[in-house]
A and B are shown apart, each in its own frame.
Chain A
Amino acid sequence: MQLKIQYYALMREQAGRSEETLDTACATPADLYGELVTRYGFTLTREQLKVAVNSEFSDWSRRLAAGDAIVFIPPVAGG
């Protein structure tokens, strides 16, 4: 299944890219984050992040579908 992943801020720098399309068997955002930590060595733990699927906040256990766009959201610092 193909997923589109966008990276922001610290995670963009650690991944060395701002987006990519991945072929993966990961069923949930939680599984996907585990796979990406292995690939890119992200220093943020899943507990520090939120996740968005198709530009809306999502549960970590949501079942992903082909074509979903996923964004992991590091601790925010607006203002």
Chain B
Amino acid sequence: MMRFRFTQTAIDTTLARRELLDSGAGGYVSFEGWVRDHNEGQEVTRLEYEAFQELAVKEGERIVAEALRRFPVKHALCIHRVGALDLRDMAVWVGVSSAHRSEAFDACRFIIDEVKHRVPIWKKEHYRSGDSGWVNCERCAAAPSHAQQHGHAHEHGHAHEHGHEHEHDEPAATHS
């Protein structure tokens, strides 16, 4: 059974949780992502999720496998909803069972954070104003991209303040 999967219908957490049961586990941690009525100053009325499922299930499975390698937990599972969702609906569920709670919290957080950053899933918000927008796509497309801004600054930096710019670069380099 895949440890990352999609569903078109409501996520059944009772069934999902059952897959994590293990007599060596002392408990389990779960995270539920819900549809919220606001985002960045806009009143949200409903959402649509769309995924490139062939790649998304592979990348999601890799994330869960990474979590199981990094943290000494028993089982982990992530289920993501796609299609049309209303306010309060559950968009994503992550569950991790473990002998001890600390690593279950850590693994659960790792999975949801990585899923948000790496898995090809997109979210379209519909607003009370009648407007709608793809999250992370519309606003950044309208403004000059960071890459362009950075490139521009870099050209100037080389001529005038190379040392200064280098200091700024270091924390970013070690961060990854």
A-B contact count (CB 8 A): 89
Is residue A16 contacting chain B, with contact meaning CB distance below 8 A? no
| Residue ID in chain A nearest B91 by CB atoms | A79
Chain A residues with CB below 8 A from B54, complex form: 55
Interface size class of B (residues with CB under 8 A): 20 to 34
Are B148 and A52 neighbours in the complex by a CB distance under 8 Å?
A: no
Q: Mark B121-145, 1 if CB is under 8 A from A, else 0.
A: 1111000000000111110111001
Q: Mark B64-96, 1 if CB is under 8 A from A, else 0.
A: 000000000000000010000000000110000
* 8 A Cβ contacts from A43-79 to B: 43-45, 47-48, 52, 55-57, 71, 73-79
Are B115 and A79 neighbours in the complex by a CB distance under 8 Å?
A: yes
A contact residues vs B (CB 8 Å cutoff): 6, 8-10, 12, 43-45, 47-48, 52, 55-57, 71, 73-79
